[in-house]
Amino acid sequence: MAQRRRRSPKALCTLCGANMSLQMSRRNSCRVGICGNRASSSEWHARRRGSSCSYFSSGAQSDDFSVSLSQPIFTITLRFLLAIDLWLSKRLGVCACEESPWGSIRPLVRLVELSGHVIPWLVGTLYTLFRGETVVEQEIMLNLALALLLDLLLVRVVKTLVRRRRPAQSRSDILSTFFVERYSFPSGHATRAAMCARFLLAQMVDTASMRVLVLAWAALVSLSRLLLARHYVTDVGFGLVMGYCQYSLVERLWLRQSTVGCTTLV
């Protein structure tokens, strides 16, 4: 029988050290794998939470407002004003998502937003136009319908020319608005609110209480665009001025009772 070879003490120490190092490496790899899984899961949850309200994330805006002294004074002033516009818009966007500071009143603000959409206004105006009993009522509704169509046309032209991007916001509420547009400047809700408010005050409203209600509605619709982070402050401000001036154009293009009577007979 072959005799077993005796290993030297040095070889035994080397073998034990190799086994210990192998066990330690296995433990470390397991710990690293567990920690990596935990880190990846925590990172996934953080991304998920951040994606639900991206408007308030630090990297939500990619606009560059860096200023150098070599630039013209007009460029410096414009960048400064845009930076203030961005900062103020983010401050006002307190209903951008459910996790926002005022997220509890978000459904109410969205209801106010819907009241300023063009579809309810067009449907209600056309229904009243065809159901109108007097020529005066039909004249007012016809001109209101034309004013709404004119507002849509002018807003689309300005948005196409300016091409300003909308604020970064959550996409989970995309069903809250119809026909979500790509561009932001100016706010169509603001132009419509200002134009319709001036139209109603000039043609239909004759009491002080109703005038207050109409003005309050226009202000709330415009404010909802900021609270929901749909637009910047300059979008809403320019939209209000644009809508106010649109009514002057509507008055010049006003269709009289004779024209309405001829179209009704036809």
- The catalytic residue among 138, 231, 236, 242 is 231
Q: What is the pLDDT of residue 95?
A: 80
Catalytic residue check, 231? yes
- The catalytic residue among 90, 189, 192, 225 is 189
pLDDT tens series, the chain, 266 aa = 444 445 454 444 444 454 555 455 555 544 444 444 444 444 444 444 444 465 544 444 445 555 555 667 877 787 888 888 888 888 888 887 777 777 788 889 899 989 999 999 999 999 998 887 888 888 999 999 999 999 999 999 999 998 888 887 644 454 444 455 678 899 999 999 999 999 999 988 889 999 999 999 999 999 999 998 888 999 999 999 999 999 999 999 898 866 655 544 44
CA atoms of 28 and 22, how far apart (whole Å): 10
168 backbone dihedrals φ, ψ, rounded to 5°: -65, 130
Encoded tokens for 228:
């929901």
**Do residues 159 and 181 make contact, with C-beta atoms less than 8 angstroms apart?**
yes
Cβ-in-10-Å burial (0-12, 13-18, 19+) of 161 comes to: exposed
Q: What is the pLDDT of residue 37?
A: 47
Q: What is the pLDDT of residue 264?
A: 47
End-to-end CA distance of the chain: 123
Q: What is the pLDDT of residue 122?
A: 93
Please tell me what DSSP assigns to residue 67.
-
> Peptide bond before 186: cis, by omega within 30 degrees of 0?
yes
CA atoms of 152 and 122, how far apart (whole Å): 11
Using only C-alpha atoms, the chain has a radius of gyration, in whole angstroms, of: 32
Place of tokens 């509704």: 141
SS in 3 state form for 180-211?
CCCECCCCHHHHHHHHHHHHHHHHCCCCHHHH
Question: What is the length of the chain?
Answer: 266
For residue 209, the tally of other CB atoms under 10 A from its CB is 8
The pTM score is 0.69
Encoded tokens for 243:
């809508």
Q: What is the pLDDT of residue 131?
A: 86
- What residue type is 34 in one-letter code? I
Spell out a b/e string for 215-254, using b for 16 or more CB atoms within 10 Å of the CB, else e.
bebbebbbbbbbbbbbbbbbbbbbbbebbbebbeebeeee
Bridge partner residues of 165 (DSSP): 183
CA atoms of 65 and 41, how far apart (whole Å): 35
Q: What is the pLDDT of residue 170?
A: 44
